[in-house]
Structure 1
C-alpha cells in the first residue's frame, strides 16, 4: 500500500499517519519530496485494505500495490492454473495449454434427448457435457428445469458417454445437491455477484465455471472469483459470454479482448461462450474461431438435436452436425496456437 499525503500536510499529520500504520502492526516507509510526501506500507495489506485510511487528516489517496483479487491475481500465482474436471478415465483439463470443449443443450429435457445429444457431441470431440437442471428464466412462466430429476439424468448420461458434467446452481439451498451429481458447478451471469451463493459454492471444493455478468467489468469478474477461492475452491474457470452494449444487432457484445486481458491479470483459465454472446447460430462459428485464435482455454456452445422443440434457448443452439463441423475447425485453430486436447 502507498499512502499519498496532501500538499501542505503538517508534520503532526504525517506523524499521526505513521502512528496509525504502526498500530496495525505494519512498517511505514517515509519519503518526502518537494511537493508530496509518500508513505509506503510494508506488511500484510489485508490489514489496511479495510481500514478507513482516507478518513485520517492529511491523507489524499491510498493506493494498493497488489490488486484486491489477490488469490486470483497473476502476481500471487505466476504460473497458469490447470483445472481438472471429472474423475477416472473421464478427466478434462482446462488452462495451462489444455483446451476444453463444453457442449450440450441449455436444459435437460429428457434422458432420451440428452443421450442423443451427448453421443453426437462426444463423437465431434466435446470433452464436457453441459445441461441445465435449474434454469434462471426471465419469465416466471417459462420452463424452470427438471430439478433433481434433471441432475440424475445428466449424471447418468455423462457416465454412459465418459463425459464430465457441468450444470448451473442458482440457489444456495441447492448447492449440496448440485455438487453431489456434477463434476463442475456453473455460476451463471445473473449470479456472478450473488456473494452468498459464491461463498457456498466455494465451500464445496468442486471445480467452478464462472460466467461474466452482463454489466460486469473484468475486475468485477475476478473479484467474484476471489470469493470462491477464498472459501476453499481453487479450481475456477472464467467464462466470457458477452456484455451489454448499445447495439441490438446481437444479444450481447462479445468481448474477445477480455481473454488476453484476463490472462495478463490472472492465472485462472478463461473460456468463451459465443452462444449466449450472440444469440444467433449463424454468428457462433466465427466468434468461436476468434476465441480459439486469441488463446481462450475452451469454447462453450449450446447444441440441440431439434431446436424448434427446445424448452429453453432453442434459437441459439447449433444442430449436432453443425457442431461437428465447427468443432473440427476449432481444434485446428486451437492446436495452431499451441493448445492440447
Structure 2
C-alpha cells in the first residue's frame, strides 16, 4: 500500500515508521509512504486523517515504481546527466584491448557526442576459450582514456568479489544480461552509491528486470539505469537478439529510472546497429550505448557488431537529430532543421 499525505502532514511519517518498521518494510519518498503487508484497516484515526490518497495493488518493485516516485530519476556522474530531459551517448569498444587502442576509441567516442566511455575489462563469454578481458590492467587503461577526454567510465562487474576493485575505476557499474538475476551481485552493488546500468536478461520479462532493479534499490542505491538490449525470440538467424523497442515506453510508464537502448547487442551485425539505434531514440530512450572499433575484423570480441568510427559519427548525428525532433514542441517543429 502507498499512502499520499496531505500537504502539511509530513510530520506523521515518523509515527508511521515507528509503528510499522519492526514488522514491515517501510519506504518514504517526499510525501509518499509505501508499507508492505499493511492495509487501510491497520492505520489509526490520526494517520487516516492525514492521508490524501491510498494506492492499493502496489507492485513488488515498489521503490522503482512511478506510483511511489512520480518524478524522473536523473543519474548524475562527473560528466553526464542520464534521464529526465537529457539524452546521453555512451560508446567504446566491446573489450579493452590495450592502453593505446582504448585511448584511440575514447577520442572517437567523444567526437560523436559521447560523454561516457564503455569498455569491458572482464568479459562474460559463451565459450571459456574466448578472450576474457585484461582484468585490472584493462580498468586502468579505460580510466586513463576516459580522463584524457573528460568522459565517465562504464564497465561491467561480473562478480560480487570484484565490486570494490572495479568501483575504484568506474563511474557506472554495468550488470550484463547474463547477470541480471545474479542476486548476490545486485545486493553488492546496491550497497554502494555508484550508479548501476542494469541490462535486461535475454529471456527476462518487464517484471523480471524491475524486480532485479529493486534488489539494487533495496540496498540503498537508487542510481539505476535500465537498458533494453534485445531478447531471445523465435529467430536469431539474422539478428543476434530482437530489440524490444516497445519495452522502452512501457518501462518509462512503470518506473522512474532512465531507460536506454543497446542496439549493438540486439543487432549483432553492424549493418543493423544504426537502424535499431535510431528506432530506440524515436521511441524516447534516454540514451544509447554502442560498440565501436576501428578494425572490427580483428577485434578481440564482438567485432561483427561494432561500428567503425565514421559509421558511429553518422549514427550519432542522426540520433541527436531525431532526439531534437521528438522533444521539440509541435508549434516549433517547422523551425527544426535536420
Alpha-carbon RMSD across the aligned residues, in angstroms, is 1.7
Partner residue in 1 for 2:71: 79
The correspondence of residues 252-267 of structure 1 with structure 2, limited to 5 A, is 252-267=241-256
Normalising by structure 1, we get a TM-score of 0.80
Q: Distance in 2 between the 1:337 and 1:177 partners? A: 40
The reply on whether 1:250 has 2:250 as its aligned counterpart is no
Partner residue in 2 for 1:324: 313
Deviation of 1:335 after TM superposition, in Å, equals 1.4
The reply on whether 1:198 has 2:186 as its aligned counterpart is yes
Q: Is the 2:34–2:62 Cα contact (8 Å) retained in structure 1?
A: no
Q: Distance in 2 between the 1:267 and 1:188 partners? A: 21
The correspondence of residues 47-66 of structure 1 with structure 2, limited to 5 A, is 47=37, 65-66=57-58
Question: Secondary structure in 1 aligned to 2:269?
Answer: coil
Deviation of 1:336 after TM superposition, in Å, equals 1.3
Rg larger for: 1
Deviation of 1:47 after TM superposition, in Å, equals 3.3
The correspondence of residues 53-132 of structure 1 with structure 2, limited to 5 A, is 65-85=57-77, 87=78, 91-132=79-120
Provide Cα deviations, 1:118-153, integer angstroms capped at 9, x if missing partner.
Answer: 101101211110000000011111110000000000
Deviation of 1:273 after TM superposition, in Å, equals 0.4
Q: Of 158, 169, 187, which residue of structure 2 is paired with 1:170?
A: 158
Q: Distance in 2 between the 1:335 and 1:237 partners? A: 22
Q: Is the 1:192–1:221 Cα contact (8 Å) retained in structure 2?
A: yes
Q: Is the 1:176–1:204 Cα contact (8 Å) retained in structure 2?
A: no
Q: Distance in 2 between the 1:290 and 1:315 partners? A: 20
Kindly tell me: are residues 336 and 185 of structure 1, through their superposed partners in 2, closer, same or farther at Cα, counting changes over 3 Å?
same
Q: Of 226, 235, 239, which residue of structure 1 is paired with 2:214?
A: 226
The correspondence of residues 283-298 of structure 1 with structure 2, limited to 5 A, is 283-298=272-287
Question: Secondary structure in 2 aligned to 1:47?
Answer: coil
Provide Cα deviations, 1:237-280, integer angstroms capped at 9, x if missing partner.
Answer: 00000000001221111100000000110000000001000101
Kindly tell me: are residues 268 and 158 of structure 1, through their superposed partners in 2, closer, same or farther at Cα, counting changes over 3 Å?
same
Partner residue in 1 for 2:303: 314
Deviation of 1:156 after TM superposition, in Å, equals 0.6
Partner residue in 2 for 1:146: 134
Q: Distance in 1 between the 2:75 and 2:35 partners? A: 28
Q: Is the 1:82–1:96 Cα contact (8 Å) retained in structure 2?
A: yes
Q: Is the 1:189–1:212 Cα contact (8 Å) retained in structure 2?
A: yes
Question: Secondary structure in 2 aligned to 1:276?
Answer: helix
Q: How many residues align?
A: 283
The correspondence of residues 266-277 of structure 1 with structure 2, limited to 5 A, is 266-277=255-266
Q: Distance in 2 between the 1:121 and 1:175 partners? A: 26
Normalising by structure 2, we get a TM-score of 0.81
Runs (5+) with no aligned partner, structure 2: 2-22, 25-32, 40-55, 329-338
Provide Cα deviations, 1:206-258, integer angstroms capped at 9, x if missing partner.
Answer: 01100000000011001000110110111100000000000122111110000
Q: Distance in 2 between the 1:124 and 1:297 partners? A: 16
Provide Cα deviations, 1:34-74, integer angstroms capped at 9, x if missing partner.
Answer: xxxxxxxxx9642369xxxxxxxxxxxxxx61110000001
